[in-house]
Amino acid sequence: MYNIMKIVPDTSIIIDGKLSELAEKGEVEEEVVIPEFVVDEIENQANKGLEIGFAGIEEIKQIRELGEEKGFEVSFTGRKPTDEEIKMASSGRIDALIRDVAEEMEATLYTGDKVQAKIADAKGIDHRLFDKERIETFSLKEYFDEKTMSIHLKQGSKPKAKRGMPGEFKLEETGNEVLEKDGINELIQETIEKAEMSDDGLIEMQKEGATVLQIGRYRIAISRPPFSEAPEITAVRPVSKVSLEDYDLSEKLIDRLDETAEGILIAGAPGHGKSTFAQALAEHYEQEERILKTMEKPRDLDVGPDITQYAELEDSMENTGDFLLLVRPDYTVYDEVRKTRDFEVYSDMRMAGVGMVGVVHASEAVDAVQRLIGRVELGMIPQVVDTVLHIENAEVAEVYKLELTVKVPEGMTEEDLARPVVQILKLENSKPVYEIYTYGEETVVIPVDDQERESSAQKLAKKQLMHELSGRVENPEIEFISNDHIRLIVEEDEISHVIGSGGENIDRLEDELGLDITVEPRSKTLKNGIDFQVEERGKSLIIDVGNNRSGEDIDVYDGDEFLFTATVGKNGEISLTKNSDLSGRILGSYESGALNVKA
C-alpha cells in the first residue's frame, strides 16, 4: 500500500471535477502530483474547442487555488507525450503512462475510469476509483418552470425562455440582467461536470466549439467561439407526454397504423409536436407488444424504459442500422431523417423488412415525400414510405397514403403516355391530391386539384416544348387552345424546321407531350390559293403543286386553320410520311374538300 498522502490524478478525475470537490471537503492532505501527460491531454482537448478540455483547465486552476488555501502542495511532473503516444491515446497509451508515474512515485492513483482502475488493481498499483454520482439538480434547471419548453442563454443578451405547448408558445425574457462572459462560462463548466458525473447524463456530441449533452430529460446544446461569435446555451425539455388516444385519431387511421403502415413519415415544422407524436406512437406500438427501438442524434425522445434508444455507432447511423438489422425490431423510430445518408439508411432498413417511423422537418406533408425524389427510385417510393402524417399545432392535420399504379398522368390524354405513377391520396377518402412521375428527364410532383393541376401540367408542357425547340426556333409563342391542344407561333421561315421532313418533327413532339400542336406563322404574308393534287404513293402522302412551284414556300390549311408551311421539291411535290397524324388530317381534309394550299 502506497502513501495516500501523495495523489496522482488521471485525466478522468480532473475532467469530472471530483478532485477539487475532495479538496474542499479536506480529503486532500499533503500533495497532488499532476502528470504532464494529463495537462497535455486536457490542453489538446481545449485546443480542439471541446468543452471537457476547458472544464479540465478550470479544474487544475481550482486545485492550485485550493492547495494555497488548504495547505497542500500541487506540483507537475514528467515529460510531455510524444506524437506517437498522442496518436495511441484512444487505445489507452496515455493512461498507461499515468499509471507508471503513480507507480514510480509510490503514490495513490485517483481515477474515474473503471478500466484504468482494473488495470491498476491487476498490476498492484494503489488506487481509488470514484464512480459517477447521480446529480439531483443543476443551475440550468432553475430557469425552467412547468410550462417552459426551452431556455436560451447567450453572452450579451438577457435570458429568454420559450413557454407554452407545442404549436402554442411564446418567447419571454426571464431576467433583467444581461449575461456576462464569466457567468455563462461558469454555467457551461458546471453543466459539463454534471453531464460527466451524473448517472443519467452523457455527452452526445463534441466538435470544435460545439457540445450537445443529455441530462435526464434535458437536451443541452452549448456553443463557443469560433463556432459561434459568443458563448451560448440552449436547453430543451419536453413539456407534455401524451398517448395516441389524446390525438383523437380516426378509426381508419388507427387501423392503418396498427395493420398496414410500415413506412411512416411524421412531417411538420419545428416546435409543432413531431417528436411528441413519435413518442406517443412508439409507446402505442410497445403496448401492442411490438419490439421498439429508436435511432436518434441526440437521444432526446421521452420514451419508456422498455424502448432502447440508439445513437450513432462509431459516428455512423449506417453502422447503427446494420446493428439493428441483427436485433430485428418490429419498428424503429428514426429521429430525424434529414440528410441523404439518413434517407438511405431509412430506405435500407425498410426494404429489409423493418417497420420504420421517420421524423422529418417539412412545412407540408408532400414536402417530406419530395425529399425522397433522387434518393429513392421512383417505383420504390411507396415501398419505402406508405403513410405520411403532417403535424401542425400539436395535431394531426393531414394523413396521406402512397400507392404505385400505371396510368396516364392527370392532364394528359394519349393512352400511349401511360407510365408508372406514384399517387399521393388522402387516407380518409382515397382522393388523389398529388401525382409523381417522370416527365422527359425530370421527376415531377403535380397537384391533382383541378385548377392547380391544369396550370402545372401546362407549365410542364411549355417547358418541355421550349427545351425541344431551343437552338432551332427563336422566341416561340406557346398558348393552349384547350387542355390537350397547343398553338405554336413562330417566324414563317422557321416553320419547316418545326414540322420536319414529312412531318416527322411535329409528330415526335406531339407523341412526347401527349398534345396536339398547331403551328402558325407570327405574321402571315398575303398568299393566294393554288391548284394541287393529293395522292398516296407507297408509304408517302404526296401533295403535287406542279413543277413551276419548285423551291417555293407554300402554306397548307384545313379550312381556315393553318396546318404547316413547306418548301416544294424539285419535282413540284411535297412528301409526308403516310402513317403520321398530320398526313391523316390532310387526307381527311382533302377528301372533304376543306384542304387549301396557298403560295
What pLDDT digit, counting tens, does each position of 383-406 carry?
999 999 999 988 999 999 999 999
- Per residue in 499-541, pLDDT tens? 877 677 888 888 887 777 888 787 665 677 888 899 988 888 8
Q: In whole angstroms, what is the distance from residue 520 CA to residue 479 CA?
A: 11
Q: In this predicted structure, what is the pLDDT of residue 127?
A: 92
Give which of 85, 134, 92 is closest to 114, Cα–Cα.
92
Indicate the CATH number for domain 3-129: 3.40.50.1010
Model confidence over 459-505: pLDDT tens digits?
Answer: 778 888 888 888 778 888 888 766 677 888 888 778 877 887 767 78
- In this predicted structure, the answer to whether residue 135 has a pLDDT above a threshold of 80 is no
CATH number assigned to the domain covering 465-598: 3.30.300.20
* Equal fold, 3-129 vs 465-598: no
- Higher-confidence position of 105 and 208: 105
Burial 196-208 (b: 16+ CB within 10 A, else e): bbbeebebbebee
pLDDT-derived band at 220 (thresholds 50, 70, 90) equals: very high
- Among the residue ranges 110-124, 258-272, 495-509, 528-542, the one predicted with the least confidence is 495-509
Whether a cis peptide bond, with omega within 30° of 0, leads into 298 is yes
Extents of the domains making up the chain = 3-129, 139-236, 244-446, 465-598
pTM above 0.75, yes or no: no
Matching residue, cell 393554288: 530
Task: Report, as an integer, the average pLDDT of 406-419.
Answer: 76
Note the pLDDT of residue 136: 62
pLDDT at 416 over 70: no
Q: Is the pLDDT of residue 426 over 80?
A: yes
**pLDDT, tens digit (0-9, with 9 covering 90-100), for 205-218:** 888 889 998 888 88
Residue type, 299: R
Check residue 1 and give its pLDDT. Answer: 43
Q: Which of 7-11, 224-228, 255-259, 517-521 has the lowest mean pLDDT?
A: 517-521
Question: The domain 244-446 is classified under which CATH number: 3.40.50.300, 3.90.70.10, 3.20.20.300, 3.30.420.40?
Answer: 3.40.50.300
Instruction: Calculate helix-pair angle for 504-513, 450-469, nearest 10 degrees.
Output: 150
Query: Which residue would you say has higher pLDDT here, 307 or 29?
Result: 307
Q: Residues 430-468: pLDDT tens digits?
A: 899 999 998 877 888 888 865 444 556 677 788 888 888
The whole-angstrom separation of Cα 339 and Cα 375 is: 10
**What CATH architecture does domain 139-236 belong to?**
2-Layer Sandwich (3.30)
Work out the mean pLDDT of the chain and round it to a whole number: 86
